[in-house]
Structure 1
Amino acid sequence: MATATSHQAETQWRLDAPRGDDINVHSSKIDGEPQSRQISNISVVDPPIYRVYRRRWIGLVTLMLMNIMISWGWITFAPVSTSTQVFFRLGHISSVNWLSTVVFLAYIFISPLVIYTLSNFGVRFALFFAAGFSIIGVWLRFIGARVNHSDGGHFPVVMLGQIFIGFGQPFVLSAPAYFSDLWFTSKGRVTANALISLSNPLGAALGQLIDPFLVSEPGDIPNMLLYIAIITTAVTVPIFIVQSKPPTPPCTSSAQEKLPLRVSLSKVASSLEFWLIFIMFSILVGFFNASSSLLNQILEPYGYSENDAGIGGAILIVVGLVASAIVSPLIDRTHTFLLAIRILVPVISICYICLIFAPTSRSLAPPYVVLAILGAASFSLLPLSLEFIVEITHPVSPDVTSTFLWSGGQLLGAIFIISMTALTDDGSGSMRRALIFQAIVSCVASVAALCVGYGKRAVKVLPLRIAADKTEANSHL
């Protein structure tokens, strides 16, 4: 009889629960503490109400826009590398490559501040940092190109602008896993992460596609930088209405207190699975960044134009976005993280092997097909890897793991650009040796991926965050 009374009381509480413009997802705890009251002399513990707020889309879209423009800022000069070299009167193409490389190095330098900002102040403050650095950077680049432009402008000022863009990038690139953990449930985190994370390469795609059309001759460089500066400034406006965290958490795992930074670092440092994912992720992100930056130089010796390379870069990214839009919701439903990783990583390695031979055909179809498959596999892999590492290290804060992974990718991106540039044939400009190097090292990433959770270590790759949510849900059935 007591059980029936308790059940009726809880049912009535649920019926009387307030309903607003928010979506009621699950009930468990309020502010992490169970609430109790007396009903008919029976003590009833009120499970809290977990909600997924519609306003989460404002933060998501703002992070997407910021990622698009910062990535466009990073890739700006790569699609028009020849025109950039001529305009600034640079002696060697490697100087142009450094415009991309310094962005990666700036990421490493600023990453400790990123972890501190996200952990202590949230996404809103991170967006303010990103906006401030990127606005300073894009306008410095314009000033450096515009002042004394008839004599080649001031290249060091442009380089300084790129460094500031590099300072801004990690504040939005490291945020997706942290943001999705705070605002989404396990049924939408991979998709949310994909939308934000992949908006970064979408910005690169826009740069690859649009920049060659804006620069028909070297003298158009200042105007291109002006357009990018205006758009970048405009997209920062919505950050003033973004909230750092929801009023109430969306699910149990979001409400759980994360480990302190020192404990988190100790936990991930002792995890073999973390280091295997770190190696895989860093290598593949590094090569993606390097290939995007050097694509024009990879194709140019075989008779491809800057426009051809720009279209190739756009295919790489647009096909990748479409593939990820299909794969990410499937992973959200099935949670087959490890299976997907073991399939996608070898496909990426095979694509890098094929990229050695595709340009030698001197026709558009082979490189475009390879780039399309490479983009589809790479973009599908990226968000699920970021979410997978959060799952297996929970309750480590997502900003810690994602910042480490991205830092590894940015560092190797810089190293790979320098290495691949050094391997370029000075006479013909061919990057065949660089592409062979890329293919060999990418196979190391495949080995690392296949070793994750192998054999008895399968217990180390269980999705702990999803398990926490299921346990809480089952306790209230």
Structure 2
Amino acid sequence: MLHKYNLHTYLFTCLPDIYQPWEARLRSKRSPFLVHPDGKQKMSPPPPPPPPPASPPSTDAPRYEQRIPTPEFASNALSSGDGMHSKQDLVAEVADQEAAAQLATFEQAPAYRIYRRRWLGLITLMLMNIMISWGWIAFAPVSESTRLFFRLEHVSSVNWLSTVILLSYICISPLAIYSLNRFGVRAALIFAAGFSVAGVWLRYVGARVNSSNGGHFVVVMLGQILIGFGQPFVLGAPAFYSDLWFTSKGRVTANALISLSNPLGAALGQLIDPFLVAQPGDIPNMLLYTAIITTVVTSPILAVQSRPPTPPCPSAAQEKLPFRSAIFKVAASLEFWLIFIMFSVLVGFFNASSSLLNQILEPYGYSESEAGIGGAILIVAGLLASAVVSPIIDRTHTFLLAIRIIVPVISICYIGLIFAPTGGSLGPPYAVLALLGATSFSLLPLSLEFVVEITHPVSPDITSTILWSGGQLLGAVFIISMTALAGSETENIRHALIFQAVISCIAAAAALCLGWGSRMAYVQAQRVAVDKAELM
């Protein structure tokens, strides 16, 4: 319970506009001594002279000078005592109304938040991409051992184990787009896991049953097709997932981590499979190990959420275009098709080079293990370079400048690959592969995010899946055509590498046409602009 002096001090300090005028009225009725808040008794000052009678308000006076009537219950609390507001009171009331309006605006404004749980979905997508890519490349580093185990006449039949996955991607990609838009990332992961787990175990069964007579190659091929069916659900998800869970300052990095886990899986396959297959009879064991790892990796998918409870930024909260309108917008964009040509050609050649690297280097005297190390260098150098480039692009948003620098360097690398293996030394091909991996990996997430920026508000999974479909289709075409050009003789391999270099230069020309002349307005980062405009 407050002491009366403490209560007096509290009222005097916290409610001066009400308590002090009321106290002044009581001065004439109280004793000549008044207890002041400082605790000392002082003589109360003589009462002030009565104010002159208020003149009626002039109609010509400004509005804020007029004294307006107040409610009856408030008139006793004002020093004027005449039921009127003074200028000070009116200004204070207006300030209170403005503060209340600002508070209401703040409460109605959407709240943006970044959740830590986004990393669980990101890691799950990374692991799924790694294992699906490992399944795709599984037989390429040990192509000769695979041919001998399944008793195939030519190594081109082994190449079809990789090619069929690329073609399967194109067949199932419309379902992947629908699944991501309709059900979200979690449902897409469930579809991918179902196809992948079924595929890897079917491969093992095909190789293990009747293994003494070469197994069942057709069953293994069917398993590869199922793995290919699972690929578009995770390859089309990075841009879609980063758009939902990350801001403009982290989307390129998030996309890079997920997208580049796909070639990381290829690197693991290039590096590990030759050590698992010392002889043709080890093929079933290799498939068993990958099947077990794939099954374990898919276990966390049920804990992944499709979308955050609260969007991380304004562009993530913005409603995306309907599917039909989005397709029309993408089809009418010249810049999208230029990026589509560049992306499809370079991804196609990267897939072809990864699948045929063993056959490209072996005619020059390199072993399967040395070719596998070259493939691993290709991937590891790319991962390190992307770890540096992606955060820089996230901060600067210089998408177009980076594309104009990186794409010509990739074309130069494909030209260098014609001459690097001819000397028989490991240094030149490894150096070219390292530079090729660094530039290709840096370009991959950059291109995917740049397309989302220039086509916003088109849903990211639509543009990403279209780009990846082009890359997978041309990858299959390039594997078939380069296999036809290549042979056991080095001269035929040289023809395949020349073909690769010429087409990559055409892709570089398409990239350099981006933003040419008056088209610069069509290559602006629209999604970044939305975030900056609303958060300023």
Q: Which residue number corresponds to residue 62 of structure 1?
A: 124
Q: 1:339 aligns with which of 391, 401, 414?
A: 401
For 2:268, the equivalent position in structure 1 comes to 206
Counterpart AA for 1:82? E
Q: 2:484 is matched by which residue type in structure 1?
A: A
Q: Output the TM-score relative to the length of structure 1.
A: 0.91
Letter in 2 for 1:81: S
Q: What is residue 419 of structure 1 aligned with on the other side?
A: 481
Deviation of 1:426 after TM superposition, in Å, equals 5.2
Quote the Cα distance in structure 1 between the aligned partners of 2:344 and 2:400.
17
- How far apart in 2 are the matches of 1:422 and 1:240? 44
TM-aligned CA deviation for residue 223 of structure 1:
0.2
Map of 1:167 onto structure 2: 229
Q: What residue is the counterpart of 1:186 in the other structure?
A: 248
From the superposition, tell whether residues 328 and 427 of structure 1 become closer, same or farther in structure 2 (CA, over 3 Å): closer
Aligned partners of 1:183, 1:231: CA distance in 2, in Å? 28
Offset at residue 425 of structure 1 (A)? 3.3
User: What secondary structure, in the 3-state scheme, does the structure 1 residue paired with 2:415 have?
Assistant: helix
Deviations 1:27-65 (A, max 9, x none): xxxxxxxxxx4xxxxx76631210011000000000000
- Report the alpha carbon displacement of residue 455 of structure 1 after superposing the two structures with TM: 1.1
Which residue, out of 391, 414, 421, partners 1:329? 391
Distance of 2:106 and 2:385 partners within structure 1: 48
In structure 2, distance between residues paired with 1:241 and 1:309: 39
Deviation at 1:424?
1.1
Aligned to 1:222: 284
- Contact 1:301 1:430 (8 Å CA) reproduced: no
Q: Where does 1:139-150 land on structure 2 (aligned, <5 Å)?
A: 139-150=201-212
* 2:468 aligned with 1:406: yes
Deviations 1:315-355 (A, max 9, x none): 00001000000000000000000000000000000000000
Please tell me the residue identity of whatever aligns with 1:449.
Answer: A
Q: Of the two, which has the highest radius of gyration?
A: 2
Give the gaps of 5 or more residues in structure 1: 14-36, 38-42
* Change in CA separation of 1:325 and 1:427 when aligned onto 2, cut-off 3 Å: closer
Q: Aligned match of 1:131 in 190, 193, 199?
A: 193
Match of 1:100 among 159, 162, 168: 162
Alignment CA distance shift 1:324-1:427 (3 Å): closer
Deviations 1:289-313 (CA, angstroms, capped at 9, x unpaired): 0000000000000110110000000
**2:267 corresponds to which letter in structure 1?**
A
The letter for the 1-side match of 2:449 is E
Deviation at residue 92 of structure 1 after TM alignment: 0.6
Give, as a single letter, the amino acid of the residue that structure 2 aligns with 1:165: I
In structure 2, the residue matched to 1:117 is: 179
Deviation at 1:5, TM superposition (A): 4.5
Name the residue aligned to 1:231. 293
The structure with higher relative contact order (CA 8 Å, sep 6+) is 1
Matched residue type, 2:435: I
Question: Which residue of 2 is the match for residue 375 of structure 1?
Answer: 437
**Contact 1:285-1:410 at 8 Å conserved across structures:** yes
- Ranges of 4+ aligned residues in structure 1 off by more than 4 Å: 1-11, 426-430
Q: How many residues align?
A: 445
Q: Alpha-carbon deviations, 1:265-292, whole Å to 9, x = none?
A: 1001010000000000000000000000
For each residue in 1:403-446, what CA deviation from the matched residue of structure 2 results, as whole angstroms up to 9, or x when unmatched?
00000000000000000000013555841111000000000110
What is residue 352 of structure 2 aligned with on the other side? Answer: 290
- Alignment partner of 2:423 out of 337, 344, 361: 361
Q: Residue 79 of structure 1: SS of its match in structure 2?
A: coil
In structure 1, how many angstroms separate the alpha carbons of the residues matched to 2:388 and 2:484? 38
CA gap of 1:252–1:89, structure 2 versus 1, over 3 A, is: same
Conserved? CA contact 1:298–1:430, under 8 Å: no
Normalising by structure 2, report the TM-score: 0.81
Asked if the contact 2:255–2:445 (Cα under 8 Å) also holds between the matched residues in 1, the reply is yes
Q: Whole-Å Cα distance in 1 between the matches of residues 413 and 331 of structure 2?
A: 31
- Does residue 300 of structure 2 align to residue 243 of structure 1? no
Cα 1:291–1:7 change in 2 (3 A) is farther
* Alpha-carbon distance in structure 1 between the residues aligned to 2:261 and 2:106: 47
1:186-208 Cα offsets, whole Å, 9 max, x none, are 00000000000000000000000
Q: 1:94 to 1:3 in 2, by over 3 A?
A: farther
Matched, 1:262 2:324: yes
Alignment root-mean-square deviation, CA:
1.4
Which of 320, 335, 350 matches 2:412?
350
How do 1:296-307 and structure 2 match up within 5 A?
296-307=358-369
Distance change (3 Å), C-alpha of 1:90 and 1:367: same
Separation (CA, whole Å) in 2 of partners of 1:166 and 1:429: 33
Distance 1:169 1:434 in 2: 27
**Alpha-carbon deviation of 1:10?**
8.1
Letter in 2 for 1:413: G
Question: Given that residues 453 and 525 in structure 2 are in contact (C-alpha distance below 8 angstroms), is that contact kept between their aligned partners in structure 1?
Answer: yes
- State the alpha-carbon separation in 1 of the partners of residues 157 and 491 from structure 2: 15
Residue 69 of structure 2 corresponds to which residue in structure 1?
none
